[in-house]
Amino acid sequence: MAAAGDVTEVYDLRVTVDSIEGRSVCGMAVGDYCELVHSAQLRLPDGKHFCVYALASVLPFLAAKQRDLPAGDWLEQDTRFTCPDPEERLVMRVERVGRRRIDSTELT
């Protein structure tokens, strides 16, 4: 259990549509993005959307990408993920866009 004053550091992440090699069924375009900030808050630009199926394919990796990983870890090196829709062939890029210190008692 975290004690008051314990601090952890995590990265804020941006998931950006890097390419669409098929037809865009979900209505997203290259450059569309969402951000995962403050450990667990998903943010979208006003008036924009992000396909839940594309997000679901990258979601399992985001918790690891928020933390420092060993230099040889494949997830430290890889930044691209694909949507499971075979007609879209949508590729997303996950980038670390900031680092923040969070009081560990704020996390679950």
Q: Is residue 102, in this structure, part of any structural domain at all?
A: yes
For residue range 37-76, list pLDDT tens digits in order. Answer: 998 999 999 999 999 999 999 999 999 999 999 888 898 8
Q: Is residue 73, in this structure, part of any structural domain at all?
A: yes
Q: Is residue 1, in this structure, part of any structural domain at all?
A: no
**Confidence label for 25 from pLDDT (cuts 50, 70 and 90):** confident
H helix or E strand, kind and range, residue 64: helix 52-65
Q: Is residue 65, in this structure, part of any structural domain at all?
A: yes
The answer to whether 30 and 17 have CB atoms below 8 angstroms apart is yes
Full domain range(s) for residue 29: 7-106
For the CA atoms of the chain, what is the radius of gyration? 15
Q: Residue 6: its pLDDT value, please?
A: 84
Backbone angles phi, psi at 26, to 5 degrees: -85, -10
Domain total in the chain: 1
Please tell me the distance from the alpha carbon of residue 59 to that of residue 22, in angstroms, as a whole number.
Answer: 22
For residue range 80-103, list pLDDT tens digits in order. Answer: 999 999 899 999 999 999 999 988
> For residue 13, which of 101, 75, 97, 92 has the smallest C-alpha distance?
97
Predicted structure pTM score: 0.88
Q: Residue 96: its pLDDT value, please?
A: 95
Q: Is residue 61, in this structure, part of any structural domain at all?
A: yes
Q: Is residue 1 over pLDDT 70?
A: no
**Confidence label for 104 from pLDDT (cuts 50, 70 and 90):** confident
The answer to whether 12 and 1 have CB atoms below 8 angstroms apart is no
Q: Is residue 2, in this structure, part of any structural domain at all?
A: no
